[in-house]
A and B are shown apart, each in its own frame.
Chain A
Amino acid sequence: GAVVSQHPSRVICKSGTSVKIECRSLDFQATTMFWYRQFPKQSLMLMATSNEGSKATYEQGVEKDKFLINHASLTLSTLTVTSAHPEDSSFYICSAIRGNEQFFGPGTRLTVL
């Protein structure tokens, strides 16, 4: 069964609004989670590493003030897309490691109108 959940699975919002996406590890603790973005028919691009109890580490080119990450507990990381624009429309996927395996969440499809 699923070991990482994401909510919501799909969201449509207006330009300028903020959207929060939750990533939860189910039945295990994840001190580190990862946030990826995937555009249609393209690969996954790592956006940031979410660290429980400390600041997230962002990849080069990812605006930390636009993509706010909060890892407040050992089972929950949130990604907030602030002041969303149409170009932020994408598939956002989180992942967490359990043992030696990386488990991906089901993804959140964001559409910004």
Chain B
Amino acid sequence: GQQVMQIPQYQHVQEGEDFTTYCNSSTTLSNIQWYKQRPGGHPVFLIQLVKSGEVKKQKRLTFQFGEAKKNSSLHITATQTTDVGTYFCAGPDGGGTSYGKLTFGQGTILTVHP
């Protein structure tokens, strides 16, 4: 079945440093979504990428979707303590276009030291 791999599993940074998490799918994706889960909380939708090679920015966050639509990355510039949490990528299950059934990556747990 479809697999979504995410690295690294953990990332510890000093406040102000940059952070990047990478996501790779075993199949071509119609779209990829990114979520953030704060400690003790639930996943919160950040963004969806649909087009090959797409790049989207949200303040200090930059999201990229690979040309082959099988990989993606999330980059945070100048991390802040509020960035702490687990970042998940997720793709539609089975390669479909459904926004519902998602296969999640393992997540990257980000800790930021002040």
Closest to B1 in A: A60
Collect the chain A residues with CB atoms within 8 Å of residue B48's CB: 100-101
0/1 per residue, A78-113, Cβ < 8 Å to B? 000000000000000101010011111111000000
Q: Please state if B99 and A97 are interface contacts (CB–CB under 8 Å).
A: yes
Alpha-carbon distance between A101 and B43 when the two chains are bound, in angstroms: 12
Partner of A43, one of B42, B99, B104: B104
Chain B 51-79 residues near chain A, CB threshold 8 A? none
B33 at the interface (CB under 8 A from A): yes
Chain B 77-104 residues near chain A, CB threshold 8 A? 88, 93, 99-104
Q: Please state if B43 and A44 are interface contacts (CB–CB under 8 Å).
A: yes
Distance to closest chain B CB from A105 (angstroms)? 6
Q: Please state if A42 and B44 are interface contacts (CB–CB under 8 Å).
A: no
A interface, size bucket = 20 to 34
Partner of A93, one of B42, B93, B106, B109: B42
Kindly name the residue among A32, A43, A46 whose own CB sees the greatest number of chain B CB atoms within 10 A. Answer: A43
Distance to closest chain A CB from B70 (angstroms)? 18
Residues of A whose CB lies within 8 Å of any CB of B are 32, 34, 41-46, 49, 93, 95, 97, 100-107
- Cβ contacts A to B, 29 pairs, < 8 Å: A32-B100, A34-B100, A34-B101, A34-B102, A41-B109, A42-B106, A42-B107, A43-B88, A43-B106, A44-B43, A44-B104, A46-B93, A46-B101, A46-B103, A93-B42, A97-B99, A97-B100, A100-B48, A101-B45, A101-B99, A102-B33, A102-B45, A102-B99, A102-B102, A103-B45, A104-B42, A104-B43, A104-B45, A105-B42
